[in-house]
Homo-oligomer: A and B are copies of this chain.
Amino acid sequence: MACENETAIVLREAGQKVTPQRVHILCEVRHSGVHITASRLIEELRTSHPFIDASTVYRTLASAADLGLVYETDMGSGESEFEWVGKDRHHHLICRTCGDVTSLDNSYLDGVATLLYEEAGFQADLGHFAIFGVCKSCQTKA
């Protein structure tokens, strides 16, 4: 239940009202593995908190993404996937051939952010990228 309290604090700090719906939705995002789609979230909440409407889920996720509390990323499935923004900033490498998803430390793109700031004066927010390509093992198989 530490999660509930902490989520409430984060919401309050972001200038949002702390409603039970929001706390349940965002705690579910935090607890349910890494990435989760809106429809899967709705499905899981249906059993634990059946009174929460789907539109509330969509609205909560959208505003949380705007406020930078969660990442919203297209991992190639067609549906956006959401992830709580924790301490470990990262990106993902996604293989177009086998579908394998791996994580990539934020530091790989630090150089790009620095370069953009120096050359264009642009303060880039390289939050949580999905980088598509072909993984090592799929290349050797070909």
Contacts and interface: CB of A to CB of B under 8 A. Distances in A.
Contacts of A127: 132
Given A120-B93, A132-B124, A133-B123, A109 B112 contact: yes
A132 B108 CA distance: 17
Interface in A4-60: none
B134 A122 contact: yes
A131 B116 contact: yes
A47 B80 CA distance: 33
Contact of A108 (B96, B116, B135): B116
Interface string A95-124: 110000010100011011001100011111
Contact of A124 (B93, B115, B122): B93
Interface of A: 74, 93, 95-96, 102, 104, 108-109, 111-112, 115-116, 120-127, 129, 131-136, 139
